[in-house]
Amino acid sequence: MLKKLLKKYPSIWMLTIKIYRWLNPIAKNPLMAIKRYIEFFCDWREYVKLGGKAKLIDAYPCLFDKIATTPFDAQYFYQAVWASSKINKAQPETHVDVGSDIKFVGMLSAICKVEFVDIRPLEVNLPNFVSVDGSILNLPYADGAVQSLSCMHVIEHIGLGRYGDPLDPDGSRKACAELQRVLADGGKLYLSVPIGSPRVQFNGQRILSVSEVFDFLPGLMLVEVGLVDNEGKYHSVIEVDDICFNEAAGSDFALGCFEFTKDMKSN
């Protein structure tokens, strides 16, 4: 509400943005920000001495990027690589994704037409991308209508209220049942979920066991499994029996990436 009000006065809005840019590093890490601001001003003075033109009023202090290696979220990074490679190989005419990371589905639209289903519609302008308003508990597709389907790092949240969905202890199972319902005979489902010792980390997510994942999708056949283990190491293919956890050593949870298909003979 305040943002909309400030945008009515462009000069005040721009001043607000500039103040935010200066204060944001302090809010993130006050002690480190003091040291980095000293370096910032030294770098700025040196840049100006070298003939560079940069007014302090236009400054955009980025103080925490001087690090030895590029940080990344191993689970989200590797799951996107895993799923994208499989979908690219399959070359579906249309791929349906339910609630996955928006960077993943955006890049996926460069491979094929993407229909992205979420309770929070994604309003972007991409030629191969369609945003669909819908819930994983009531997908807007007929039984067996979807040939290529993904749902990455999503089902563990369902029923915990984190995203405004109704509280339901059986939310993950119901979400899987709906994914299974809409998957076509011979179709592919690409699913990722945190795996480890079963528990609920309310209201963030559930951790499922591998056997629970299979129990939630009784009408599907496993094709292949990938894994981002507890230490962030990526296994593009792994045998189910080789999946292990090192929770006793202080690790939290791994990420299982499951490729399923619906066997036409079993229906």
Confidence of residue 265 (pLDDT cuts 50, 70, 90): low
Q: CB of 210 within 8 A of CB of 195?
A: yes
CA atoms within 13 A on the CB side of 203: 11
Confidence of residue 250 (pLDDT cuts 50, 70, 90): low
- The boundaries of every CATH 3.40.50.150 domain in the chain are 74-266
Report the Cα–Cα distance between both ends of the chain, in Å, rounded: 52
Per-residue pLDDT tens digits for 66-102 = 999 999 999 999 999 999 999 999 999 999 999 999 9
Mean pLDDT, residues 225-238 taken together? 95
Extract the tokens encoding 128. Answer: 């191969």
Say which CATH topology domain 74-266 has: Rossmann fold (3.40.50)
Q: What is the pLDDT of residue 2?
A: 74
